[in-house]
Amino acid sequence: MPTPPTTPLAADNLLQRADHQGVTTLTLNQPERFNALSEAMLSALQSALDDIAQDEQVRCVVLAASGKAFCAGHDLKQMRANPDKAYYQALFARCGAVMQAIVNLPVPVIAKVQGIATAAGCQLVASCDLAVAASSARFAVSGINVGLFCSTPAVALSRNVARKRAMEMLLTGEFISAAQAAEWGLINRVAEDDALDSAVDALTASICAKSAVAVRTGKAMFSRQLAMPLDEAYAFAGETMACNMQAEDVGEGIDAFIAKRAPQWRHR
């Protein structure tokens, strides 16, 4: 199978590639700036995510990066050049919208992390549904080191790791290793540096082998129920499962299980 073409987006800030399995890879492509979340990068990400949300052929998204770093967070030089509160409000609102677009995307998003993921870059990892990191990767929310508490990264971070772990990272700005990030719940898996590609490929293959209806239903349900009281969450989950049971794929999956054969999903 030939390698699918890679499409540059928004003046090459972001590269997009789709494969035959329905996996779309978005690659942050400003390695000389450590893939900072500049205005242009955020705009490119928002546009790509909006398009993917409407594409029923996409089964899974991988968020990757070029160069030695995954993402060093906001572009501090750009921020310093615009010392205006209204500018900062708009910038953080735009960044928050991108993070929420990842959460609200109908399909799973997997962060593929190499090098460092700091501040809003760590927020980006935390906002993804899943994350796989190279063993040499490191993570930090380091705004505190320049006098800025990472308030917006704290929103995503605190929804992934335990409260005291999150506060330790936020108050010290210290790096944690990939192994620590996995232990603390920020990422799912750690791979040797030269095995990162194959580890992510294995994870996407596992997801794409499942029913697309079940995966899309599950992602939407999971995010919503987290914000609900327990009784509301169970009511919502029960209604979701009842609706899911009406899908052709569920009948096929149960029949295949009973017959001890592989299911033939109707919706790929």
Q: Report pLDDT digits (tens) over 214-259.
A: 999 999 999 899 999 999 999 999 999 999 999 999 888 898 899 9
Query: What is the location of CATH 3.90.226.10 in the chain?
Result: 6-208
Q: Using one digit for the tens of pLDDT, what is the confidence trace for 13-35?
A: 999 999 988 999 999 999 999 99
Query: What is the location of CATH 1.10.12.10 in the chain?
Result: 212-259
Instruction: Answer yes or no: are the C-beta atoms of 88 and 39 closer than 8 Å.
Output: no
How far apart, in Å, do the first and last CA atoms of the chain sit?
19
Question: Max CA-CA distance within the chain?
Answer: 66
pLDDT at 266: 80
Confidence class for position 9, pLDDT limits 50, 70, 90: low
Residue with tokens 């979340």: 37
Q: Using one digit for the tens of pLDDT, what is the confidence trace for 34-90?
A: 999 999 999 999 999 999 999 999 999 999 999 999 999 999 999 999 999 999 999
Q: What percent of the chain has pLDDT over 90?
A: 89
pTM of the model: 0.92
Per-position b or e across 24-48, b if 16+ CB within 10 A of its CB: bbbbbbbeebbbbbbbbbbbbbbeb
Q: Which two tokens stand for residue 93?
A: 């609102």
pLDDT at 98: 98
Instruction: Say yes or no to pLDDT of 2 above 60.
Output: no
CATH architecture group of domain 212-259:
Orthogonal Bundle (1.10)
Domain topology for 6-208: 2-enoyl-CoA Hydratase; Chain A, domain 1 (3.90.226)
Pick from 33, 35, 34, 14: which is nearest to 25 by CA? 14
